[in-house]
Structure 1
């Protein structure tokens, strides 16, 4: 005789769970989710949505910033290599301020640097504007082994013209028709110049004069290019 065991409520619920199909389980999960969302309320849902949007925006911004920072620190493959030749400018107290003669000279030097790959720099004479006061500044350029020294402004030109005979290995480019004919730093006018040196171009020694005028920039560029070219 077979004895039947009557299943109680817990056993029936366990069997129902085991027999449930995947679809019914999905339906149950969806119903639970809807109930949970309904309990949260509209305001809470809005806050959650806003939080998700903020997190997404931060993630996107961080991605692009990381790309920008990486690009910013990449080495410049177009970085210029310079020759071991230095062209140095000695100017008056105004330096290379726009509108000054020295500014045109500096532009010409930069043009020559692009062509020859020579290094260019400048030093400003501060304080008293005289040849004697400019001489220590000039000496600093010579001690730095400047290969080409340019001078703009009457005191600077006079100091360079006086020093040129003692520094034959250095090429000097002086702005003006001669040392005494360069721009007067006091009133911006030209001096009387020297009839012997005016327009003579290359001095028999190591001096080249770059005449004042509209073509000063190009004249300086050509003078520097010539001097750098002779040094290989």
Structure 2
């Protein structure tokens, strides 16, 4: 007599069954969405699909074009601060050891030179005389400016003015603007001789220290550069 066959049913743990349901749900939703989209496109017809595709392409192109145009406009309204152009004219200042420290005569001269640079686009620079504050020691520094082809040489301070006044007759193509700050150094004879008029002869101009020095230097530099053409 044959024994009855007993079928064993494999029991799936509840946790695994729940996971299988969760995994199947997104796939089912995705499958349903794809099937619905295909049916919708088929119902629309080929011509409508082409029109919709073209519309999408046009919208994307407009968006991309607008993006690049906006970047171009932004760049156009932000000028490069380094784009300022200068004339081939150099105005160089020779100062004492303190340079252009605020409150000094040289600081006023430097401010006037900067004002003139904004108007004329001339390049401006300065060099302080270090070490002994004498005309003899200022001479090599002045020669350095002349070798750099400075078109205008401004000197602030007794020793610097003395050195520049001695060199001026030897460099007729260079304009000199001299400002004696009334320090303890030797007084240049030219400055004393022209103290009333504020002007020297030839390629030398004397400026007066004081409250109006900045404007006087700016005006003198502008006139000298204009005379050069």
**By the TM > 0.5 criterion, same fold?**
yes
TM class by smaller structure:
0.5 to 0.7
- After superposition, the Cα gap between the structure-2 partners of 1:194 and 1:150, relative to the gap in structure 1 and judged at 3 Å, is closer
Mark the runs of 5 or more structure 1 residues left unpaired by the alignment. 1-24, 33-66, 177-181
- After superposition, the Cα gap between the structure-2 partners of 1:192 and 1:115, relative to the gap in structure 1 and judged at 3 Å, is same
Q: CA deviation at 1:199?
A: 2.5
Alignment of 1:80-99 (within 5 A): 80-99=84-103
Q: CA deviation at 1:183?
A: 2.7
For the pair 1:198 / 2:195, whether they are aligned, the reply is yes
- After superposition, the Cα gap between the structure-2 partners of 1:166 and 1:80, relative to the gap in structure 1 and judged at 3 Å, is same
Aligned residues: 163
For the pair 1:122 / 2:119, whether they are aligned, the reply is no
For normalisation by structure 2, the TM-score amounts to 0.63
Determine if contact 2:100/2:106 at 8 Å carries over to the other structure: yes
Deviates more, 1:101-110 or 1:192-201: 192-201
Deviates more, 1:198-207 or 1:132-141: 198-207
Mark the runs of 5 or more structure 2 residues left unpaired by the alignment. 1-20, 29-70
- After superposition, the Cα gap between the structure-2 partners of 1:226 and 1:194, relative to the gap in structure 1 and judged at 3 Å, is closer
Runs of 4+ aligned structure 1 residues displaced above 6 Å come to: 190-193
Match of 2:209, SS? coil
Determine if contact 2:165/2:190 at 8 Å carries over to the other structure: no
Match of 2:205, SS? strand
For normalisation by structure 1, the TM-score amounts to 0.62
Post-superposition CA distance 1:147-197 (Å, at most 9, x none)? 000000110000001110111100000013xxxxx43167xxx99986531
- After superposition, the Cα gap between the structure-2 partners of 1:193 and 1:145, relative to the gap in structure 1 and judged at 3 Å, is closer
For the pair 1:183 / 2:178, whether they are aligned, the reply is no
Post-superposition CA distance 1:48-89 (Å, at most 9, x none)? xxxxxxxxxxxxxxxxxxx9xx97xx8717721100000000
Match of 1:120, SS? strand
